[in-house]
């Protein structure tokens, strides 16, 4: 399987090499960072009302002290769809002074 030569393509290639089936639905976590808690809360409220990403979690990063909103979207991790979803979430985050910090899929622990 070929993947584009960018960060998302590299991550998808690593997942495929680990045996993750990229043709099935997964819960994909998108990470959005904020300097201020009220900005993170405002974004979390806005995005939780969106049909695309109704599941969000707000937490403070222990290492950096920034606020992180984890937005979970159920989707097939297709390169184009991932990139579009990142751009969409970041466009909303930008209006709340936030910025994207990538995405990930929790590996099955079974």
**Domain extent listing, the chain:** 35-67+75-105
pLDDT band at 108, cuts 50/70/90? low
The pLDDT value recorded for residue 48 is 84
pTM > 0.85 = yes
Q: What is the pLDDT of residue 7?
A: 93
Q: Is 101 exposed, middle or buried (0-12, 13-18, 19+ CB in 10 A)?
A: middle
Distance, in Å, from the CA atom of 14 to the CA atom of 20, rounded to the nearest integer, reads 9
Tokens of 68: 């992180």
More confidently predicted of 83 and 63: 83
Q: 59 - beta bridge partners? A: 68
Q: Is the pLDDT of residue 110 over 80?
A: no
């Amino acid at each position: 399987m070929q993947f584009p030569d960018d960060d998302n393509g590299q991550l998808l290639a690593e997942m495929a090499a680990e045996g993750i089936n990229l043709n099935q639905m997964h819960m994909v976590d998108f990470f959005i960072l904020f300097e201020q808690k009220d900005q993170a809360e405002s974004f979390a409220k806005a995005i939780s009302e969106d049909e695309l990403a109704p599941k969000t979690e707000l937490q403070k990063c222990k290492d950096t002290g920034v606020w992180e909103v984890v937005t979970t979207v159920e989707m097939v991790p297709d390169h184009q769809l991932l990139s579009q979803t990142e751009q969409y979430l970041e466009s909303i985050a930008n209006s709340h002074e936030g910025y994207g910090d990538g995405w990930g899929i929790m590996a099955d622990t079974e």
